[in-house]
A and B are shown apart, each in its own frame.
Chain A
Amino acid sequence: ASILGNVQQRSFEVRFDGSTVGFMPASC
C-alpha cells in the first residue's frame, strides 16, 4: 500500500464521512 503522509496533506482540509474522503485545497 502507498501512504499519503502529512507533508502532502498540509494546507488541505481533509474530510471523512464514512463513505468518501474529500480534499479541499488552501483551507488553512
Chain B
Amino acid sequence: HADAARSYVTVSTSSFAVSSTCADELPGRAASPRNGTSAVLRLTHRHGPCAPAGKASALGSPPSFLDTLRADQRRAEYIQRRVSGAAAAAPGMQLAGSKAATVPANLGFSIGTLQYVVTVSLGTPAVAQTLEVDTGSDVSWVQCKPCPSPPCYSQRDPLFDPTRSSSYSAVPCAAASCSQLALYSNGCSGGQCGYVVSYGDGSTTTGVYSSDTLTLTGSNALKGFLFGCGHAQQGLFAGVDGLLGLGRQGQSLVSQASSTYGGVFSYCLPPTQNSVGYISLGGPSSTTGFSTTPLLTASNDPTYYIVMLAGISVGGQPLSIDASVFASGAVVDTGTVVTRLPPTAYSALRSAFRAAMAPYGYPSAPATGILDTCYDFTRYGTVTLPTISIAFGGGAAMDLGTSGILTSGCLAFAPTGGDSQ
C-alpha cells in the first residue's frame, strides 16, 4: 500500500486554474538562515498576479499557450544546435556576433519563453529594473536612454539613463572585459565597447557594454557590474526592462559575483503563477537536503549547466530505456518551458503515462502544439496521476510534483529531433 501511495498522486482540478490573487509570501526556505553571505531576490512569473507592483499586464500581454510552445520549440532547437556545435552552420540561427545574422523577430510581440522575473536596482542613485532571469545566457542587459521605439520596445519602468548615474561608465574598447566578450562582441564605436546577444527565440539586443553598481537587495550591492546598455532590441521582451544572465561564462552575474558569493546560487521557480519563488546568490554551503548530481560542461558551449540523465520512472516503475539514449546529457534551463527528451525516451514515457492513466477513463483532448498527450478534466473535481521520477548520474532523483507533470492538461514533455541529437 505504501508503494501504491508513492506511485500515484491525486490532485484537485481547481489547482490547475490560474488565480488572480497573489499568495504574496516568500517560501520558508528563502527566509531560513543561510550560512555565509547571501542575497535573496523575490522571483515571480511575469504574467501572474505576483509580478512586480502587481502590474502583470504591464509586463506584456500574456501569450497564448500555443504561441508559448512555438517559441519554446525555437529555443529548444537553438540550445541543441549550440550544445552540438551546429549553431554556426544552421540557416536562420546564429551565435551572438555572427555577421550573417538572420533573426525572425516580432517587435513587441510578447511570446518569449523567459517567464520569470526579479527586480534589482542599477546605478547611483539606484533605479529599479525588472529583469527576466535566464540560466541559458551570460550577458545581462537593460534598455538605456536613448532608446526610441522602435528599435526599442516599451517597458514598465522608465528607461535607465546612464547620464544620470554617477557610478556609470562605458567599457573602453581597450579594456580586457571588452576583448573577453568574444562571441558577444559587436565592434567598437567612439572608443566604446559594443555588444550583441541573440537568443534562441529570435530576439536580439545591441548596445554599449557598460559598468555600474548593481544593487541586489538593500544591503547587497555589486560595484562595477558589467552589463549591456541596450540601445536597440528586437523581439520578445515586451514589458520587462532587460535580462539577468545566470549562465556559466565570465559575463554572467554568477561569475561576476563569485568573489562575494562563492559562485553558488540557487533558485526556486514557484509551482503556480500566483505564488512567489526566489533566487539566492550564495547561501547554504552544504548540500544537506539536496539530491545532487555532477555538473558537466559541453565542450562546444560552456554557457550551459549540463547534467547526466540516468533514467525515468512512471508510477514507481523504471522505464526500459538504454542508458546510451541519455549519453548527450541534459541542459538545465530556466528559459525552456517543456522538458525535451530523446525520442526513444519520450516514447517510453508517453506509453507508460498513457497506460497508467487509462484505468481512470479520463477523456482525451486534442494535441496542443508539441504536446501530444492531453486530457479533458473539465468534468472532474480531482484527478489521479502516476508519479514521474527523473534519475540523474550519481543516483540523484527528482520526484516531480503535480506541477511538474502536466501543463494545460497535457503531459509536459516533448521529444527532441533525434536520439543522437
Query: B-contacting residues of A (Cβ < 8 Å)?
Result: 1-28
Q: What distance in Å separates the Cβ of B14 from its nearest Cβ neighbour in chain A?
A: 17
A7: which of B29, B337, B416 is its contact (CB, 8 Å)?
B337
Q: Shortest Cβ distance from B293 into chain A, in angstroms? A: 6
> Can you give 29 contacting A-B residue pairs, CB < 8 Å?
A3-B339, A4-B307, A4-B330, A4-B331, A5-B339, A5-B412, A6-B334, A8-B390, A8-B400, A9-B269, A9-B332, A11-B268, A11-B269, A11-B401, A13-B267, A15-B284, A16-B265, A16-B295, A18-B263, A18-B264, A19-B294, A20-B295, A22-B266, A23-B291, A23-B292, A24-B289, A25-B399, A25-B401, A27-B268
- Selecting from B77-85, B154-162, B185-193, B359-367, the interface stretch reads B77-85
Contact of A9 with B294 at beta-carbon distance under 8 Å, contacts A2-B309, A3-B339, A28-B278 already known: no
Please report the C-alpha to C-alpha distance between residue A21 and residue B392 in the assembled complex, in whole angstroms. Answer: 10
Verify if B328 is at the interface (C-beta below 8 Å from A).
yes
A9 to B331, CA, bound (A): 12
Distance in Å: Cβ of A15 to nearest Cβ of chain B: 4
- In the assembled complex, which residues on chain B have CB atoms less than 8 Å from the CB atom of A18? 263-264, 295
Task: State the CA gap A10–B353 with chains docked (Å).
Answer: 20
Q: How far apart are the CA atoms of A24 and B396 in the complex, in Å?
A: 10
Q: How large is the interface on B (under 10, 10 to 19, 20 to 34, 35 or more residues)?
A: 35 or more
| Chain B binding surface SS class | mixed
B271-291 CB mask vs A (1 if < 8 Å, else 0) is: 100011110000110010111
Q: Is the CB of B407 within 8 A of A7?
A: yes
When distances are taken between beta carbons in the complex, the residues of chain B under 8 Å from A3 are 76, 79-80, 330-331, 333, 336, 339-340, 416
A3-B339, A18-B263 are known contacts. Are A11 and B270 too (CB-CB below 8 A)? yes
Least CB distance from B73 to A in Å reads: 11
Instruction: Give the docked Cα–Cα distance between A10 and B271 (Å).
Output: 5
Closest-by-CB residue of A relative to B278 is: A28
Residue positions of B touching A, CB distance < 8 A: 27, 29-30, 72, 76, 79-80, 83-84, 115-116, 254, 262-271, 275-278, 283-284, 287, 289-295, 298, 305-307, 309, 326, 328-342, 345, 390, 392, 396, 398-401, 403-404, 407, 412, 416, 421
Q: Which residues from B are CB-within-8-Å of A15? A: 264-266, 283-284, 287, 290, 292
Interface SS of chain A: mixed
Neighbour of B268 across the interface among A2, A13, A22, CB < 8 A: A13
Per the bound structure, the CA–CA distance linking A27 and B30 in Å amounts to: 9
- A-B pairs, top 7 by smallest CB distance, nearest first, are A22-B290, A28-B27, A2-B330, A28-B268, A15-B266, A11-B271, A22-B292
Contact B339 A21 (CB under 8 A): no
> In whole Å, how far is A23's beta carbon from the nearest beta carbon of chain B?
5
Q: How far is the CA of A26 from the CA of B29 in the complex (A)?
A: 10
Also in contact, A2 and B328, with CB within 8 A (given A7-B338, A20-B292, A28-B276)? yes
A1 with B80: CB separation less than 8 A: yes
Complex formed: what's the CA distance from A10 to B329 in Å? 20
Q: Which of A6, A9, A26 has the most chain B CB within a 10 Å cutoff?
A: A6
Q: State whether B334 touches A9 (Cβ < 8 A).
A: yes
Residue on A with the closest CB to B327? A1
Determine if B337 and A5 form an interchain contact, defined as CB atoms under 8 angstroms apart: yes
By beta carbon, the residue of chain A nearest B402 is A11
